[in-house]
A and B are shown apart, each in its own frame.
Chain A
């Protein structure tokens, strides 16, 4: 850059939100989107066409809803003061409003999963081992789960998930100090990429946790295609706003990053990955000729790509944007360390998430919920060299 002005002394301002924030926004988006993927199966009952999808989506929603607030808490520099949120409620702050919305959502999802899972768990109450002991405690008696309660709580959780969707998007979009965030297109972007991620997670669970269900693969590929197109639409609208509205977010955005090759590469990578993912999902849906066999190089790989996309979108939005200096020259070159506020936290939260999934897998017969055929994992019809579905 050839500038007639050189800033001789440019302090480097450190970022205030750490990768914990990425983990929170990633997991909470998976949580609220998974609730919607589980909703048809929960409403229209067992053995329906969406029941298998709902089983995986509920596992996804439950585990992410538990881990997301932990990441959020860790991002506070004073985590033990979290109770200040409730002692000093502030109606002007989206973050404060969010602190009231988040617990009901998390507890609704946990309650929903409990209601759905305690039904197959009743059969485990007679067991003599640890799983039986846990089942006897967790089911809180031998009564049958009333189906209307599941439906009501599913609708409540879906409504509460909307509130999380609105608050997480608004919280970032209202920040005028950062033009890249200050756009009404950011909340829709978080939603559409979140849906892609959640569908990807269900694809992955469908293949890895099993029993594999061809219908779920088909539906989730459809969701990824649909929301991939919607994401493209949102990005397009954001760009159009830049062309036609003066002083818009994208104009400021381009202005603040045009001299930074790293940014360009990341943006190009993100758009390419999104386009390829959407195309591949669409093609797979169109061409596959659905057999009853899971493939080694099947939709689950797209599931992984979708999760990567959803995570990267948040990394770019939350971490990269913070490196744009607000009034001094240049960028604060943020280097992610291995400490808990860097990669340590990222890996730790993923580890915690995996642990929660595994613990549920050991103690909860979630595969048998919603009319699933058995409390035990049904071996997927695989040839021996294709691996076998496990259940922890």
Chain B
């Protein structure tokens, strides 16, 4: 009971302090829907990911390891590998295409300026994170992200997304998805460091690198090598597998529809 009271009083105090400093002056500075200043992170670094699609075998090891590392609720994913069956219209031959998707940690992230409480923000090192203690769960960032990279976590009732496993990066470890990638398709690194693997690869393959939905002006920092142009925007495709949970919310086997 005391603890509850103390927390309540603490919140009240923060409310009072906050109300006293409502920065009305900042209205004049930051324009509506423009990026607020970055906070935290190492300004000497700019984290980015390069995904070599030629090496991706669609095994979903990244999906699973991310799920375990970040404890996402069942059916919600911080990263997933989209798997496509592509038919050659001329010959009828089938092939597969795998496209790992995650937060693009854009340089102009549309999810950040819309956040009404600045719970979601971009660090100086480019990583976009969510302060789940501050997030009010309004879902505005989920709407604003053109990549469907965000979701409301039903356990925390706040916005959730890929953080490039920033907690692991800080400890000198690779993100879970990078660590578990059997083909070595995911390369993470600091693109401000010319000696990093990612910088060297980006130099080498510069003209072949592609990002998702570049016309949105978000400047994504997840770069794809070996990308098929048909998949840069929302692909014209038929969806087959829909659910991972049945009507009783228990996990179920995948069912195929339509073919």
Interface residues of A (CB under 8 A from B): 1, 3-14, 16-17, 75-78, 81-97, 99, 170-171, 174-178, 181, 247, 256, 322, 325-330, 333
Pairwise interchain contact B240-A10, C-beta atoms closer than 8 A: yes
Interface size range of chain B in the complex = 35 or more
In the bound assembly, the distance between CA atoms of A181 and B140 in angstroms comes to 13
Q: Which of B23, B27, B137 contacts A78 (CB 8 A)?
A: B137
In the bound assembly, the distance between CA atoms of A260 and B89 in angstroms comes to 24
Interface residues of B (CB under 8 A from A): 11, 14-15, 17-19, 22-24, 26-27, 29-36, 75, 77, 80-89, 96, 101, 110, 113-119, 134-140, 142-148, 151-152, 157-158, 212-213, 215-216, 230, 233-244, 254, 258-259
In the bound assembly, the distance between CA atoms of A230 and B12 in angstroms comes to 47
Q: Which of A1, A4, A176 contacts B87 (CB 8 A)?
A: A4
In the bound assembly, the distance between CA atoms of A7 and B99 in angstroms comes to 11
In the bound assembly, the distance between CA atoms of A83 and B142 in angstroms comes to 21
Pairwise interchain contact A328-B234, C-beta atoms closer than 8 A: yes
Count of A-B residue pairs with CB < 8 Å: 215
Q: Which of B36, B213, B241 contacts A8 (CB 8 A)?
A: B241
In the bound complex, residues from chain A placing their C-beta under 8 Å from that of B89 are 4
Pairwise interchain contact B152-A14, C-beta atoms closer than 8 A: yes
Pairwise interchain contact A97-B138, C-beta atoms closer than 8 A: no
Pairwise interchain contact A96-B117, C-beta atoms closer than 8 A: yes
Give the nearest-CB partner of A327 in chain B: B234
In the bound complex, residues from chain A placing their C-beta under 8 Å from that of B240 are 6-10
Pairwise interchain contact B83-A9, C-beta atoms closer than 8 A: yes
In the bound assembly, the distance between CA atoms of A13 and B144 in angstroms comes to 14
Q: Which of A7, A14, A96 contacts B235 (CB 8 A)?
A: A7
In the bound complex, residues from chain B placing their C-beta under 8 Å from that of A10 are 82, 239-242
Q: Which of B84, B137, B143, B242 contacts A76 (CB 8 A)?
A: B137
Q: Which of A17, A171, A177, A247 contacts B146 (CB 8 A)?
A: A177
Q: Which of A1, A11, A12, A16 contacts B143 (CB 8 A)?
A: A16
| Minimum CB–CB distance for B38 against chain A, Å | 13
Residue of A4, A9, A83, A176 ringed by the most chain B CB atoms within 10 A: A9
Give the nearest-CB partner of A98 in chain B: B116
